Amino acid sequence: MNWWQNNSRKRRFRFVALLTVVLAVGIAGFACGPFFPCWLLSDTEQSVQSVPFASFFKEIAIWRKGTTSRFKTVPPKEEHSQAEQVLDADLKELREALHIAGVDEAKLGQTLKAHRECREKLKTHAAAMSDWLAEPFDWQTNLLRPMPELGPTSIAPGLPPEFADYMRGSIAYHMGKTNDAVIAWTELLKRPAKERHYRTIWAEYMMGRVAVDSQPELAVAHFQKVRALVHDGFADSTGLAAASLGWEARACLALKDYRRAIELYSEQVSSGDSYYAVVSLRRTVQLAFADGEGAVRILAADSASRRVVTAVLISQGLWGNELNKIGERKAAEVWLDMLEKNQAVEVELAEQLALAAYQAGEFEMAQRWVKRAPQQSAVTRWIHAKLLLRNGKMDEANALLAGLVREFPVPASPVKDDQLAAEFLDRLKIGGEYLETSAETGRRGVYGEFGVLSLSRRDYIRSLDCLVRGGYWSDAAYVAERVLTLEELKSYVDRTWPKPLVDEQADDEHSMSACANGLRTLLARRLARQNQWEAAKNYFSTDTTELADERLKLIATGRDPKRPAKVRAEALWQAAKLTCERGDALFETIAEPDWGGGNYYEIGPSIERRWQQQTNEVLKTSREELLRAADHEVAPRLRKHYLYLAADLAWQAAELMPAQSDATAKVLYEAGGWIKYRDPKSANRFYRALVLRCNKTELGAIAEKIRWFPPLDANGKPYLPKRVPHAKAAEEVESFPVF
């Protein structure tokens, strides 16, 4: 067992309550953060120089990979609780013992049944105690609830002596009579070894549990004896020897022997406990740093402790800094100073220490650790590139990042057996990416930073390629829509992504596959906005191509002078409505002005934001980029800009329709309504036409009276409101969301 799993139930309840509050505050603080796309180009220097963070679990897993323990954790089966696991093991071993003793089947069955009933009663009482400890108060009366009582409990008749001794101790333990429990287990351990094969380890283990908080030195002796007894051949079907590693570590924490606790929890990780033991390692480091510089100095002198403490330091970015200060100094600064003076520090640890120094803002120290670290390490080179960028050494940083990018897998699905890339991808998270769980965050970070650097150096095609491969869709869309010419974009897509990608990552908006497929759609829409429909169809999906064909067919009919005016008007009106309702699929921009249409926030790079980057000291926005972005402006610069295309088609339809017609009035009214709230000035021509051409219709007459588009009732009929507004957007009668 270990600190996390076995701290008192009352403490665990308090911790869960506190964690709930912390998470609630944390999530609220991020607003809707998990749903925001990740983007770099709003503040390029901050983004590129941001600190990568490690995963503590993965750092420990990498460190302990290949190490084994003589003892193995025995987790419960998926459908079983720990109590059920113990009950099953107890009954199985009892059956074996009774068989060896020659008990006949009838008596054996009776003994097993009675023993199960006793065990079930203990299990029920333990569950009731757990519930009571979690909520001992009746919150309506504010009174303490009565503590659950075990009640009269007797051991089953016919139990072998070692089982009977153990059960007497177990019943006393559940009743809170720990002295009586220890006496019973001690009697068990006095029996000859051959008479206590099954319950020797259980008794020794439970005696350690009883002593762990009040007599930690005694508990240590019991838990060490547990593991020695396994070597002597006593039964350990539930993995108590592995659990004793964590319990002994907890006793060491009480004794403030943090180095030994780390040693024990580390072995518990190797025994197969990949969660609770790892969490307990982190807690041990927290307690040691809280104890002061003396306790930390002992850890700095120990190889295993150095690895664990450093792993904690480099993985505390997302949820805040758990190791803040030792006295007046930053915890990271104290730790790094200690290790820098220690000539025995392992070379392979220098990489993590460089990262810790970078995170702590100790850039000169980070550079010194980079020089000591393995120079072929991907992490070392990434940190080195960041340091070069901070110092304005663009060419050297560019060369380092380019080398890293070349070594990473570039197909649609990452090559999992690429050892360098796989290890790097699986270790680091990018600062600021809230709830980022992808194992590719390290890879994304390198691609993203190289993409930003390439954009600053006016290498636009390479910038787009890196941003797409890194999964930075908002940034890639800005470069593709605003910076590249249409010919450059088309050439890049044809060469690099000639076909849509279909794999398990295609639905992940941050994946390379999703970005590559999105780029094809983006290109199709750019072509469509330039009326290059035949070319656009090569990149649209089948459904969107059918939509485009339908729209083009309606427009062709509406503009055919050989057809009757009524037929032409109807076709143009249908094309206008189709453009209004489905124009996003054909024309919508990912960057400004439409911002992807999927949210109400202008999230991503814009020409204004990029203009502001000209003041950056290192990664300045080039004048050429800004000129290109201005050349590729989409008009009008309003959300859902394609509604103006729809309105123009509706205007053409209305021109072919007769005056003083309800149908004409309806077209003018609806088309004006598409844009009246976002652009009253542009909608004014529809209002004026409605009044001038259709003033004898119901819609036109009321519009003339109120001098704007009239409201409609629940049945879709226009009515004269009590308060007659002027034709000002701020004084509209009905409410309408402005996107």
Task: Return the ∠ at Cα 135 (arms to 129 and 138), rounded to 5°.
Answer: 115
Please, which residues have CB within 8 angstroms of residue 294's CB and are 6 or more apart in sequence?
none
Is a pLDDT exceeding 80 seen at residue 613?
no
For residues 423-451, give the mean pLDDT. 61
Q: What is the dihedral angle through the alpha carbons of 29, 32, 34, 37, rounded to the nearest 10 degrees?
A: -120
Q: Give the strand pairing for 428-430 and 329-330.
A: unpaired
Burial class (CB in 10 A: 0-12, 13-18, 19+), 162: buried
| pLDDT value, residue 315 | 87
Q: How far apart are CA 606 and CA 481, in angstroms?
A: 11
Contacts from 675-682 at CB under 8 Å and sequence distance 24+?
675/643, 675/644, 675/647, 676/709, 676/729, 677/729, 677/732, 677/736, 677/737, 677/738, 678/638, 678/639, 678/640, 678/643, 678/738, 678/739, 679/636, 679/638, 680/727, 680/728, 680/729, 682/636, 682/644, 682/647
| Tokens linked to 681 | 């000035």
- What pLDDT, in 10s, does the model give residues 702-726? 999 999 999 999 888 999 887 655 4
Q: How far apart are CA 38 and CA 298, in angstroms?
A: 42
CATH class of 82-358: mainly alpha
**Mean per-residue pLDDT of the chain:** 84
- Give the type of residue at 502: V
User: Buried (b) or exposed (e) across 533-564, using 16+ Cβ within 10 A?
Assistant: beebbebbeeebbebbeebeebbebbeeeeee
| Tokens linked to 393 | 């050494």
Which secondary-structure segment (H or E) carries 143? Answer: strand 143-144
| pLDDT value, residue 28 | 26
CA-CA distances (angstroms) from residue 301 to 3, 203, 322? 24, 37, 22
Q: Give the strand pairing for 428-430 and 52-54.
A: antiparallel
Q: How far apart are CA 456 and CA 389, in angstroms?
A: 12
Is a pLDDT exceeding 80 seen at residue 6?
no
- Please report the sign of the dihedral spanned by the C-alpha atoms of residue 333, residue 334, residue 335, residue 339: positive
| Tokens linked to 49 | 């120089």
Is a pLDDT exceeding 90 seen at residue 226?
yes
Partners of 115 in the beta sheet? none
- Please report the sign of the dihedral spanned by the C-alpha atoms of residue 571, residue 577, residue 581, residue 586: positive
Is a pLDDT exceeding 80 seen at residue 427?
no
Partners of 487 in the beta sheet? none
3-state secondary structure at position 330? strand
| pLDDT value, residue 449 | 84
| pLDDT value, residue 327 | 75
E runs forming strands in 26-102: 52-54
Partners of 144 in the beta sheet? 137
- What pLDDT, in 10s, does the model give residues 512-543? 888 999 999 999 999 999 999 999 999 999 99
Give the pLDDT band of residue 33 (cuts 50, 70, 90). Answer: very low
For residues 223-227, give the mean pLDDT. 97
Tell me which range, 54-58, 133-137, 625-629, is most confidently predicted by mean pLDDT. 625-629
SS (H, E, C) 199-265: CHHHHHHHHHHHHCCCCHHHHHHHHHHHHHHHHCCCCCCCCHHHHHHHHHHHHHHHCCCHHHHHHHH
Give the pLDDT band of residue 189 (cuts 50, 70, 90). Answer: very high
- What pLDDT, in 10s, does the model give residues 455-481? 888 999 999 998 998 888 889 999 999
Please, which residues have CB within 8 angstroms of residue 549's CB and are 6 or more apart in sequence?
537
Domain segments of the chain as ranges: 82-358, 394-631, 657-731
For residues 627-656, give the mean pLDDT. 93
Residue with tokens 């309800």: 662
Residue with tokens 């004014």: 684
| pLDDT value, residue 297 | 94
List, in sequence order, the alpha helices (H) in 512-641: 512-529, 533-536, 542-558, 565-587, 607-612, 623-631
For residues 297-320, give the mean pLDDT. 87
The answer to whether 241 touches 71, Cβ cutoff 8 Å, is: yes
Q: How far apart are CA 261 and CA 250, in angstroms?
A: 7
| pLDDT value, residue 21 | 26
Q: What is the dihedral angle through the alpha carbons of 164, 166, 171, 175, rounded to the nearest 10 degrees?
A: 150
Is a pLDDT exceeding 90 seen at residue 204?
yes
| pLDDT value, residue 29 | 26
Q: How far apart are CA 654 and CA 434, in angstroms?
A: 51
- What pLDDT, in 10s, does the model give residues 142-175? 788 888 988 888 999 999 999 999 999 999 999 9
- Cα-to-chain-centroid distance, residue 609: 27
* Whether pTM exceeds 0.85: no
Residue with tokens 């057809």: 563
Q: How far apart are CA 536 and CA 457, in angstroms?
A: 30
Is a pLDDT exceeding 50 seen at residue 37?
no
Give the pLDDT band of residue 731 (cuts 50, 70, 90). Answer: very low
For residues 106-125, give the mean pLDDT. 94
Is a pLDDT exceeding 50 seen at residue 412?
no
Query: Could you say which DSSP state residue 564 is in?
Result: -
| Tokens linked to 512 | 């390379």
Give the number of other Cβ atoms within 10 Å of residue 99's Cβ.
11
